[in-house]
Amino acid sequence: MKILIVGGGGREHALAWRLKQSARVTEIVAAPGNPGIAALARCEPVAADDLDGLMALARRERPNLVIVGPEAPLVAGLADKLRAADIPVFGPSARAAILEGSKGFSKDFMIKYGIPTAAYGRFTEPAKAKSFLDTLAPPYVLKADGLAAGKGVVIAGSRAEAEAEIDAMLSGKFGAASASLVIEEFMTGEEASFFALCDGETAVALAGAQDHKRVGDGDTGPNTGGMGAYSPAPILDAAMQAQVMERIVEPTVRGMAAEGRPYRGVLFVGLMIENGKARVVEYNCRFGDPECQVIMVRLKDDPLPQLLACATGGLAGCRRLERFADPAVSVVMAAAGYPGEPRKGGVIGGLAEAGKVPGVTVFHAGTARMGDDIVANGGRVLNVTASGPTLAEAVDRAYRAVDKIDWPDGFCRRDIAWRALARS
Ligand code: AMP
């Protein structure tokens, strides 16, 4: 089978790496891919948000399956265009990707189908939004309705800050994405991510994970796209996973089908867990990045049959993919300046040595090739991913590999997986 992977980050490198091991995969094409992916696949210079370019590529290549990594092309309707051209695609239609594309839609949907989440209101007028704050206690959670490159959620500590943020968002801070706001109750508890595969009618659990969003050790500093992840997440034990499937994932898939928006692809549920109960923080319509990296490393079974079943139906009766018992961790190496202006162009050495540490795979997230060199070309640049017989051993292996990478501009958090290590 020929697979086309859309995207060029660490998530897509991990997908290509895992699918390359499938006995059924003969060729992988990536658009646009990256220098790490280029070792496994043919990379075509088409951007992940260039829907016309991607359609032209897909018509030319006629892949047996297209796997769409990032959310933006899904929300923009790439899966719809591919299905209309009879090309199987792993990823939801635009009408289903709205679960991530509109926070307001997803909140209304959860209430309609009895899916546990924080109390909220939706607003387009500043005065009404501000008076809704009377019903809440600080901190205040303000969310731009639409996609805002992961920056659309603001947690305001004071009423004055919340009111200023309401004015800023409703007057275009995130463009059209913040023309409408969700304001919601602040939830306390422990966050975790859960992933399920869906074919429009049926959902099969895939894996749980936890990530670290803040840039600094001890979960301090500004939010990022994610500085590291690990799987499994101890808080998502078997009973909690069963609860999440029964009360959240299955009602979501049934509800979306009832709405005429069958959900196909991976459903990523961001959870807040407290006192044995999980509530939804948000839905995402794609794999997490870097959660995907740890999930792919842990998959024992070939995921291709289930990814295909998501695209074309037939998940009913599929058992959950077998995972290795060994935990996995991924440490993000970012460029100095991230999450602000990352320093680009620094030459990265030691990648081969890092990859020789037992259990380690280094995924490329934001790199470019300059002659014989690999250079930094983004904020999050490498995902040093390791598995091991214990989480502590996996973490130790990942940091041993990090220390072999010679890249003066690079930095990483030194405490990835601290919460799970503290538990054990
Ligand atoms: P989101 O983009 O919706 O995942 O929000 C980004 C982050 O904001 C989440 O990972 C949470 O840490 C936090 N957050 C979002 N909504 C809430 C909430 N209602 N209560 C507490 N924290 C929240």
Query: What local confidence, expressed as pLDDT, does residue 349 receive?
Result: 98
List the structure tokens of 394: 């996996």
Q: Whose CA is nearest to atom 15 of ligand 1?
A: 281
* 116 upstream amide cis, omega within 30 of 0: no
Structural contact between residues 2 and 26, judged by C-beta atoms closer than 8 angstroms: yes
pLDDT in tens, 308-358: 999 999 999 899 999 999 999 999 999 999 999 999 999 999 999 999 999
pLDDT in tens, 376-420: 999 999 999 999 999 999 999 999 999 999 999 999 999 999 989
Structural contact between residues 326 and 389, judged by C-beta atoms closer than 8 angstroms: yes
Q: Rounded to the nearest whole angstrom, what is the distance from the C-alpha of residue 209 to the centroid of ligand 1?
A: 16
Q: Whose CA is nearest to atom 4 of ligand 1?
A: 282
Q: Rounded to the nearest whole angstrom, what is the distance from the C-alpha of residue 281 to the centroid of ligand 1?
A: 6
Query: Which of these, 400, 393, 390, lies nearest to 354 by C-alpha position?
Result: 400
**Adjacent-strand bridge partners of 373:** 370
pTM of the model: 0.96
Report phi then psi at 192, rounded to 5.
-150, 160
CA distance 388 to 90: 30
Q: Is the CB of 156 under 6 A from ligand 1?
A: no
Query: What local confidence, expressed as pLDDT, does residue 151 receive?
Result: 81
Q: Rounded to the nearest whole angstrom, what is the distance from the C-alpha of residue 405 to the centroid of ligand 1?
A: 33
Q: Which atom of ligand 1 is nearest to the CA of 103?
A: 3
Q: What mean pLDDT value characterizes the chain? A: 97
Q: Rounded to the nearest whole angstrom, what is the distance from the C-alpha of residue 60 to the centroid of ligand 1?
A: 41
- Stretch 105-134: mean pLDDT: 97
- Residue 195, sorted as left (phi over 0), alpha (psi -120 to 50) or beta, turns out to be beta
Q: Is the CB of 191 under 6 A from ligand 1?
A: yes
Residues 6+ apart with CB under 8 A from 196: 203, 204, 205, 206, 245, 249, 266, 267, 269
Separation in Å, CA 61 to CA 18, 24, 26, 78: 21, 17, 13, 16
Q: Is the CB of 165 under 6 A from ligand 1?
A: no
pLDDT in tens, 228-273: 999 999 999 999 999 999 999 999 999 999 999 999 999 999 999 9
Q: Which atom of ligand 1 is nearest to the CA of 187?
A: 20
Examine the pLDDT at 131 and tell me if it is beyond 90: yes
Q: Whose CA is nearest to atom 18 of ligand 1?
A: 186
Q: Is the CB of 187 under 6 A from ligand 1?
A: yes
pLDDT in tens, 167-194: 999 998 998 999 999 999 999 999 999 9
Q: Which atom of ligand 1 is nearest to the CA of 284?
A: 4
Examine the pLDDT at 297 and tell me if it is beyond 90: yes
Ligand 1 pocket test, pick from 105, 155, 182 with the greatest ligand atom count within 8 Å of Cβ, gives 155
Query: What local confidence, expressed as pLDDT, does residue 192 receive?
Result: 97
DSSP letter string, 308-376:
HHHHHS--TTPPPPPB-SS-EEEEEEEETTTTSSPPP--EEB-HHHHHTSTTEEEEESSEEEETTEEEE
